[in-house]
Amino acid sequence: MKRYNPKVIEPKWQAVWEKSKIYQATEDKTKPKRYVLEYFPYPSGAAMHVGHVRNYTIGDAIARYNRMRGDNVLYPMGWDAFGLPAENYAIKTGISPQEAVAKNVENFKQQLMQMGFSYDWSREINSTDPSYYKWTQWFFLLLHKRGLAYQEESLQWWCPFDKTVLANEQVEDGRCWRCGNLVEKKALKQWFFKITDYADRLADDLDNVNWSEAIKAMQRNWIGRSQGAEIDFSIYEKEKKECLVVHGVSGHKRENWFPWLKSTLGSKNWIVKVPNMPTPDHPKIEEWNKTLLGEFEEGAIIAGHSLGAPAALNLLQTANKKADGLILVAPVNPRQDWRHLKLKYPEVNWDAVRKFAEIKFDWEKINRLAGRITIYYSDNDKYISVSSIDFYKKHFPNATFKFLIGKGHFNESSGMTEFPEIIDNIEPKIKVFTTRPDTIYGATFLVLAPEHKILNKLSISKEVKDYIEQAERKSEIDRMETEREKTGVFTGVYAVNPANKEKIPIWVADYVLPGYGTGAIMAVPAHDERDWEFAKKFDLPIVQTFDQKDADPKQAYTGEGIVKNSGKYNGMTTSEMRENVVKDLAKRGQAKEKVNYKIRDWLISRQRYWGAPIPIIHCPKDGAVAVPDKDLPVVLPEIKSYEPSGDGHSPLANAPEFVNVKCPKCSAAAKRETDTMDGFACSSWYFLRFADPHNDKKAFDKTKVDFWLPVDDYIGGAEHAVMHLLYARFWTKVMYDEKLIDFDEPFTTLRNHGMILAPDGKKMSKSWNNTIEPDNLIKQGYGADSIRLLELFIGPWNQSAAWSVEGLGGTYRFLQRTWTLIQEFLDEAKSKKQKAKSIGHNAELETQIMRTVHKTIKKVSQDMQELGFNTSIAALMEYVNNLYKLKSKHNFTLASEAWKDALIALTQLLAPFAPHITEELWAELGQSGSVHVSNWPAWNEELVKEELITIAVQINGKVRAELLLPADVTEEEAIKAAKNDEKVAKNLAGKKVKKAIYVPGRLVSLVI
């Protein structure tokens, strides 16, 4: 008899499969498609361990099973090969990432191939190949064109020792996780993808995918959509504040929005001055300035409208006093050429206007004295040209420019009698987002995030500044830890609660984060757990604003109730008050309904070398210019040093031949962007490229993508729930909006598998020195099939389990028994040259065999539909045991055809789990082609039905019932069924059974 030898069988069939290209997929529309995919793997230099193998074994079992069921299966593989490990290795060894990755890919691919996975290797892709990341760059430019990719300055964690940006997760107790040094916040210009524009769709469309509720919940929590209100809390001013408004030519204090501003601010402890300028129709600079100097007090806010803007600038430089802010509304450019405007708009006194062109401005002085500068423009202002915007942008580079819709020249003829937008720049306010506006009467203090911008405008002590500095060293994960003790500091400044007008203190605390809501909260300690803890520690007032039945007075109550301590709202339900208080505050311009999100825009840029270059050229004249499509890809150059520069730039900044280019727009000298893209960019669309991997004209052909996509089975761990999976969904929705594809969700079914742990129950890790490598097990003779079987048999596929050496021995012995059973059948058939058919030889045995076969086919088929790999394998083990029992009683000669059918079915049912041995046995049983493209066996329902027999039940010799039970019922099962029968139980009531006798197939006798 031939011996089972995986070392011979497995390489043999791997070579056959590779040569025959049996697993290559085509767009065959005659079969239902099935796209099976595992997460895009990073080709690590370390050997693949059995923990990794489970991921691919699950995918392969699904692919092989569905292929045999007649589906057109696409099951590809490729490499997500950008990332820090290769770059750090290059820094350490001098070996380029390109060379290291190529070697790693070769090694990883060999490891996958020796496991016998049925990948379509003709579709292999690599994210570091320019032919691939050319299209990643193309998608970047598509996002840029749609306004979804933008660059702005952002504070990031920075390790001065490693000279790199760190993620929040990489900061532990204010120190770098890698080197242990203190980290700092560094302002860097970063590129972002505007994923927040898609927040609602990303949340809502989770209802349309077959994912676990746990993963959906993680994404929903990450998106963090919440319905509430944004409420304005004004800063309490001890003394009256002043605002000086300068009107334009032919202006008057009773015109435009000036009376409204005076009335609105006057009710809030403000003095608003709008002096009428002498000879407004024929302005004289000296007289206007003399009037303004008489009105201006240091620390006031100055607002200049139209020609009043250059007049306000002249006032600042001649008064030589600091203002608290400068607001310019539709400002006229005093250097403008007025001649064509004079012809176009003869109603304006342009000769008077021209006099303002004679003023000489000291821009450095004005910037120093002005405080915060805000400039308003309208989209339909016929008097203000682009030259005005350019003029003020040049001289006020740090100003805030606001462009409003439909405001004309911001005067009465444009319908402007009110100007609520200007209030935000005059009166300091703190905007607060809350989901519980019904608790506003219980807001006894405000808490700001240490990064809140208003802190720069407040007079705060050294103690507050020190606290802010310490807080900024902590990661957001540290700050969000609910168990840690609350810290904070009082600013010395107060706000006014808009609901009850009470003065409340403003605190700074690190449990408030800058990225969620507005970076400020109204603290309601009676109804919020974190606020309760904070108030208790710092002895701050706690005011309950609704009755709470059965509530614990020693902790915050966050439920609903009947409102109290809330003025006119008392007696309402909390839901009624929520609606009414927001409406009332909105009428006063102090609140508005708002939906808030936790999710932030995706920071895409990295100051590292090993990533896809960002396809942007920076021109001094034209700004950030997209690289033309014809010039893609922007190829990552090979460089000498991969060390980060330490100044916030990637190593590419030191490659002048890469950096220095001409602007695609104006041909002037320009510089390339030297940041590279986050690796998640390349993995956000690779599943689409697999549908058309060799297309050099476009990223993919729409027809091919729409044929294969979305992915039917996406397999991997839960660790990417809120990064890769979210980013891939975002990119897919953008492509759908661009009509590049006909679907907007990339993965129909997500399958998150459990981990294979080390035998000691710990996670397998090289650092723990507890990894088990399949290469070594294969060399020891166990073979890939035994490993694959254990990966799936060790427990439910979606639960973690510890690796078992004994279990591996068990799966090997099972395969050996399977091999031996079929070899014995083949040997007996050869020795006796048995050619006669079994029909008529032993019909009862044949029926027994076929019933066993069809029961197993049904069991395995139904379990495989639910991915019950472990129960399927258990059923096959039981099947082999049953076949051995039948063989020991009858041998193979009496029903040889039935035996052959049973063994052929065994190879087919076992094929998705153990592809090598089954391919060998399939061939030895004389079957043509490959078992892996044979038709999955079907069961005959008649043969699956249980054969029932009638069993009488006697009590003290009298028949009391008859039972229909399976023919193979055991003694224990028969007696139990008898006692549970309703008639029998009635006769046994209150009596003890002294003896129970079972006559197999006929009778149960009970003696009482």
- The DSSP annotation for 533-571 comes to HHHHHHT------EE-TT--TTS---S--EE-SSGGGTT
**Predicted local confidence at residue 339, as pLDDT:** 56
Region of 21 on the Ramachandran plot (φ > 0 left; ψ -120 to 50 alpha; else beta): left
d(CA 850, CA 940): 9
Percent of the chain with pLDDT over 70: 96
Amino acid in position 269: N
Q: Name the burial class of residue 459, with classes exposed (0-12), middle (13-18) and buried (19+) by CB atoms within 10 angstroms of its CB.
A: exposed
Residue 914 pLDDT = 98
What amino acid occupies position 149?
A
Average pLDDT across the chain, whole number: 91
| 182: amino acid identity, one letter | L
pLDDT in tens, 581-614: 999 999 888 899 999 998 888 989 988 899 999 9
316: region left, alpha or beta (phi > 0 left; psi from -120 to 50 alpha): alpha
Closest C-alpha among 1001, 1000, 858, 817 to residue 941: 858
Cα-Cα-Cα-Cα torsion 308, 314, 317, 319, nearest 10 degrees, comes to: -80
Output the CA–CA distances (angstroms, integers) from residue 802 to 28, 787, 807, in the order listed.
Answer: 41, 14, 10
d(CA 243, CA 234): 16
* Alpha carbon distance 709, 76 (integer Å): 13
pLDDT of the residue at 840 = 44
Taking the CA of residue 638 as centre, how many other CA atoms within 13 Å lie in the half-sphere pointing to its CB?
A: 8
CB 979 within 8 Å of CB 986: no
CB atoms within 10 A of CB 413: 9
Residue with structure tokens 């825009």?
A: 601
CA–CA separation, 285 vs 59, rounded Å? Answer: 81
Is residue 170 over pLDDT 70? Answer: no
Tally of CB atoms within 10 A around 109: 16
Cβ–Cβ < 8 Å for 930, 919: yes
Examine the pLDDT at 686 and tell me if it is beyond 70. yes
Residues 6+ apart with CB under 8 A from 925: 822, 826, 900, 903, 904, 907
Contact 789, 815 (CB under 8 A): yes
In the predicted structure, residue 263 carries a pLDDT above the cut 60: yes
Q: Which domains does the chain have, with CATH numbers?
A: 17-139+681-757 (3.40.50.620), 146-206+603-679 (2.170.220), 240-426 (3.40.50.1820), 429-595 (3.90.740.10), 804-943 (1.10.730.10), 946-1007 (3.10.20.590)
Task: Give just the sign of the alpha carbon dihedral 92, 96, 99, 104.
Answer: positive
What pLDDT is attached to residue 180?
81
In angstroms, the CA 75 to CA 409 distance is: 63
Q: Does the pLDDT at position 189 exceed 50? A: yes
**Contact residues for 666 (Cβ-Cβ < 8 A; gap 6+):** 619, 621, 622
Q: Scanning the structure block, which residue is given the tokens 């990432």?
A: 97
The Cα 971–Cα 949 span in angstroms is 14
Q: Are 377 and 389 in contact (CB under 8 A)?
A: yes
Put simply, whether the predicted model's pTM sits higher than 0.75 gets the answer yes
Q: What is the pLDDT of residues 824-873, one digit of tens each?
A: 999 988 876 545 444 446 778 888 899 999 999 999 999 999 999 999 99
Mean pLDDT of 783-787: 98
Encode pLDDT of 657-667 as tens digits: 999 999 999 99
238 CB contacts (<8 Å, ≥6 apart)?
Answer: none
Closest CA to 897 of 827, 846, 934: 846
**Listed range (852-866, 880-894, 900-914) with the worst mean pLDDT:** 880-894
Summarize the confidence of residues 222-248 as an average pLDDT.
Answer: 90
Categorize the per-residue pLDDT at 962 as very low, low, confident or very high, splitting at 50, 70 and 90: very high
Could you tell me which residues come within 8 angstroms of residue 136 by beta carbon, excluding any fewer than 6 positions away? Answer: 127, 612, 677, 681, 682, 685
Q: For the chain, how big is the Rg over CA atoms in Å?
A: 39
Q: How far apart are CA 115 and CA 775, in angstroms?
A: 9
Cα gap 24→558, rounded to integer Å: 58
| 438 touches 562 (CB < 8 A) | no
- HSE value, Cβ hemisphere, 13 Å, CA-based, for 884: 13
Answer left, alpha or beta for residue 153, where phi above 0 means left and psi between -120 and 50 means alpha. Answer: beta
Question: Does position 167 have pLDDT exceeding 80, yes or no?
Answer: no
Chain segment 458-504, per-residue pLDDT in tens: 878 999 999 998 887 777 767 777 677 889 999 999 999 999 999 99
pLDDT band at 351 (very low <50, low <70, confident <90, very high): low
Q: What is the pLDDT of residues 502-560, one digit of tens each?
A: 999 999 999 998 877 899 999 999 999 999 999 999 999 999 999 877 667 778 988 89
- Give the model's pLDDT for residue 161: 77
Contact status, residue 633 vs residue 132, Cβ threshold 8 Å: no
C-alpha torsion sign, points 492, 498, 503, 504: negative
Q: Which of 20-24, 285-289, 458-462, 663-667 shows the lowest per-residue confidence on average (mean pLDDT)? A: 458-462
CA distance 994 to 991: 9
Across the range 300-324, mean pLDDT stands at: 94
Identify the band that residue 178 occupies on the pLDDT scale cut at 50, 70 and 90: low
